[in-house]
Amino acid sequence: MSWLKKYSWLLITLAGAAILAISLGTRQTFGLFLPALTADLGISREAFALAIALQNLLWGVVQPIVGMISDRFGAGRVIGCGTLCYLGGLLAMSQAEGLLALNLGAGLLVGLGLSATGFAVVLGAVGRLVSAQQRTVALAIASAGGSFGQFIMIPVGQGVLSSWNWQTALAGLGIIAILMAPLAIAVRNRLGMTSDLSDHAADSAKLALREAFAHRGYRLLTAGFFVCGFHVVFIAVHLPAYLHDLGFPASTGALALTLIGLTNIFGTYCWGHVGGLFRKKHSLALLYGLRSLVLLSFILLPKTNVTVIAFAVCMGSLWLGTVPLTSGLVAQLFGTRYLSTLFGVVFLGHQIGAFLGAWLGGLVFDLTGSYDRVWQLACLLSVIATLLHLRISDQRAPLVETQTARV
């Protein structure tokens, strides 16, 4: 069974990618439900967007806590519990008759489920269980799983939504979510693989957090990740409705999100490699700079099938490329022993941006009848993120150097 030992890192990585595919792919379908759900429940777009915004905010707030639990007790148990929360949230959404049930399902339970089955827990486990030489590629492959899920789940969501009512469609997505539980077995900490020497960088999660917040690069990285969250959630939730308002059929919005997911599979993997060849802070600055150009072009150009497809392809290539670069930079600065905890805090910044991207999209539309102001804000934030990442200090944290030298 030497081949199994040799390629065990790949099996772990693929299991993590599959978990992210189901978890993140399912949440990307929620924007497809906006028109039918708001019409049936008689609620505004802002009310629906607020439920999704609360989901993202809760996901971010709970993420550092879930990350600490995962670091201490293992990712497998955490993902198993998260699967149950995710399933409960989708079933609660499917039975919603008003805002209370919608917020309980889409906001509270799905938010908790995402915290336990999302990037921080899965990438933290993968980062610990593979060697330093394989880590950048492994994180890129696992991160790309989220994009593959979007590529697969958007057509699935659109298909079941066109064949059944939205209630049945959501229940069907819940059945798919159950598959995350058996996949969690592969990312348990007892698989026998060890992290690199920098795992001795901190004696406790508390010390690791204190060290991280004292590092200017960590603070800037957290602020920059806010912008990524704003972009991806605003687009995922509101792009289908935006295109529908412009006269495009519902299939165009689904196609755009599917293309984003497809191109991001390759984009995330490629950006992970770029981060292995060049300084990660420069790679992140380049990525956000390219996002600003893509957003500006989409704002200025007339909206046709060609420009929508071009936007989706270009944005998809930049969509989640931030994740392996950001998580890889955290591991570079502080080691991998508390990667789930430290990346969880950075991810909180991402989710605060996600909250505002989802909620402001609905609020601005209800106030002005247009999404134009939010598109412009998204472009401006890209420029700010580019400048922030250029100023990041990516030198190894002093405590990491000291502890590594002792080892």
In a domain, 195, yes or no: yes
Which two tokens mark 320? 């989640």
In a domain, 2, yes or no: no
- How confident is residue 4, by pLDDT bands cut at 50, 70 and 90? low
Look at residue 195 and tell me whether its pLDDT is greater than 50: no
- How confident is residue 5, by pLDDT bands cut at 50, 70 and 90? low
**Cα separation values, 53 from 185, 237, 278, 316, Å:** 31, 10, 35, 21
Per-residue confidence (pLDDT) for residue 206, from 0 to 100: 73
Q: Which residues contact 45 (CB under 8 A, 6 or more apart)?
A: 34, 38, 241, 362, 365, 366
Domain hosting 211: range is 8-406
> Any idea which of 38-42, 49-53, 395-399 has the lowest mean pLDDT?
395-399
Per-residue confidence (pLDDT) for residue 196, from 0 to 100: 43
CATH code of residue 376: 1.20.1250.20
- How confident is residue 189, by pLDDT bands cut at 50, 70 and 90? low
User: Above pLDDT 90, what percent of the chain?
Assistant: 41
What amino acid occupies position 149?
Answer: G
Q: Is the pTM of this model over 0.85?
A: no
Look at residue 82 and tell me whether its pLDDT is greater than 80: yes
Q: How many CB atoms lie within 10 A of CB 302?
A: 6
CA of residue 375 relative to chain centroid, distance: 20
Per-residue confidence (pLDDT) for residue 6, from 0 to 100: 62
Stated as kind and residue range, the H or E segment containing 162 is: helix 132-163
Mean pLDDT value across residues 291-299: 96
In a domain, 103, yes or no: yes
Distance CA 144, CA 272 (A): 10
Better pLDDT: 145 or 197: 145
Look at residue 101 and tell me whether its pLDDT is greater than 80: yes
Q: Which residues contact 114 (CB under 8 A, 6 or more apart)?
A: 23, 24, 27, 55, 59, 82, 86
Q: Whole-number mean pLDDT of the chain?
A: 85
Look at residue 270 and tell me whether its pLDDT is greater than 90: no
Calculate Rg over the CA atoms of the chain: 20
- How confident is residue 200, by pLDDT bands cut at 50, 70 and 90? very low
In 301-360, at which residue ranges do the beta strands (DSSP E only) sit? none
Q: Which residue has the tokens 């990037």?
A: 119
In a domain, 140, yes or no: yes
Look at residue 399 and tell me whether its pLDDT is greater than 60: no
In a domain, 14, yes or no: yes
In a domain, 1, yes or no: no
Look at residue 10 and tell me whether its pLDDT is greater than 90: no
In a domain, 359, yes or no: yes
Per-residue confidence (pLDDT) for residue 3, from 0 to 100: 52
Per-residue confidence (pLDDT) for residue 388, from 0 to 100: 93
- How confident is residue 192, by pLDDT bands cut at 50, 70 and 90? very low
CA of residue 337 relative to chain centroid, distance: 21
Per-residue confidence (pLDDT) for residue 116, from 0 to 100: 93
In a domain, 260, yes or no: yes
- How confident is residue 406, by pLDDT bands cut at 50, 70 and 90? very low
If we measure between CA atoms, which residue out of 124, 140, 143 comes closest to residue 66? 124
Q: Would you state the torsion angle of the CA atoms of residues 154, 155, 160, 163, taken in this order, to the nearest 10 degrees?
A: 140
Per-residue confidence (pLDDT) for residue 394, from 0 to 100: 72
Better pLDDT: 139 or 405: 139
Overall domain count for the chain: 1
pLDDT in tens, 214-259: 788 888 999 999 999 999 999 988 999 899 999 999 889 889 988 9
Q: How far apart are the first and last CA of the chain?
A: 32
Mean pLDDT value across residues 338-350: 82
